[in-house]
């Protein structure tokens, strides 16, 4: 498995930060199967009803990640965690776009576990991965079609620099139907213990390989 470390720039401000990692090999990505489309649709409809009565901050995963951003001196009102952005779209009645099976399943997991997720093409990642705060003037072209300034923000970085974050991911490492090996990051709730996190990753990895074939390995990375 890829070696992954958490830098002191994160751990000194948020000692409970932990990241769930699942590595996939020999996978086949394509259009989402009807089962996944149906589950995503059902989830959105159920959440929309919930969101008519509940505030976003009543969802533990949203409240915890807003607080985590504040601990890292990131403004959660200005830079929204990606799962909160999904919830806000649903609240407004805007359907979530279908991309392909890997991204759509990533969206499903994000709604189910109420956490940010990222999935990346392993062949486009060089060397070890470090979770750290973005360096001064660090930026990348994002999947949102914009150049994103990542300085001071929580990022995942390889030897080439930052490629992912719980806000927006880069074009450089995005998964496509040509991807055969992938790395998936689960930005776990800081309050979640390692045993619980490991069970979550195991269940998610099993569902992913049921749809995409291949094999998976998982681990929970903490600062300790």
Per-residue pLDDT of the chain (224 residues; tens, 9 = 90+): 999 999 999 999 999 999 999 999 999 999 999 999 999 999 999 999 999 999 999 999 999 999 999 999 999 999 999 999 999 999 999 999 999 999 999 999 999 999 999 999 999 999 999 999 999 999 999 999 999 999 999 999 999 999 999 999 999 999 999 999 999 999 999 999 999 999 999 999 999 999 999 999 999 999 87
Contact 8, 134 (CB under 8 A): no
DSSP conformation letters of 89-108: HHHTTPPPPP--HHHHHHHH
Contact 114, 82 (CB under 8 A): no
Q: What is the DSSP letter of 135?
A: P
Can you tell me which residue has the tokens 């045993």? 195
Residue spans per domain, the chain: 4-222
State residue 223's pLDDT score: 87
Strand, helix or coil for residue 31: coil
Fold of 4-222: Phenylalanyl-tRNA Synthetase; Chain B, domain 3 (3.50.40)
Query: What is the value of pTM for the model shown?
Result: 0.98
State residue 138's pLDDT score: 97
State residue 151's pLDDT score: 97
Closest CA to 22 of 208, 223, 201, 214: 201
Cβ within 8 Å of residue 59, ≥6 positions away: 87, 114
Helices (H), 15-76: 34-53, 60-71
What Rg do the C-alpha atoms of the chain give, in angstroms?
16
């Amino acid at each position: 498995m890829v070696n992954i470390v958490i830098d002191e720039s994160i751990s000194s401000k948020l000692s409970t930060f932990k990241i769930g990692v699942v590595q996939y090999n020999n996978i086949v990505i394509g259009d989402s199967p009807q089962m996944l489309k149906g589950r995503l649709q059902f989830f959105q409809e159920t959440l929309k009803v919930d969101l008519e009565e509940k505030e976003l901050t009543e969802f533990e995963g949203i409240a915890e990640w807003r607080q985590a951003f504040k601990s890292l001196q990131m403004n959660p009102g200005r830079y929204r965690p990606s799962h909160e952005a999904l919830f806000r779209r649903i609240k407004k009645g805007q359907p979530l776009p279908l991309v392909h099976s890997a991204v759509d399943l990533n969206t499903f997991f994000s709604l189910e576990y109420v956490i940010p997720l990222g999935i990346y093409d392993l062949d486009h990642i060089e060397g070890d991965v470090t979770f750290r705060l973005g360096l001064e003037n660090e930026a990348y072209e994002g999947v949102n079609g914009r150049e994103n300034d990542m300085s001071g923000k929580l990022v995942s970085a390889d030897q080439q620099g930052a490629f992912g974050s719980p806000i927006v991911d880069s074009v450089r490492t995005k998964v496509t139907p040509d991807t055969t090996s992938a790395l998936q990051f689960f930005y776990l709730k800081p309050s979640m213990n390692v045993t619980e996190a490991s069970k979550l990753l195991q269940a998610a990895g099993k569902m992913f390989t049921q749809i995409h074939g291949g094999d998976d390995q998982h681990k929970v990375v903490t600062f300790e």
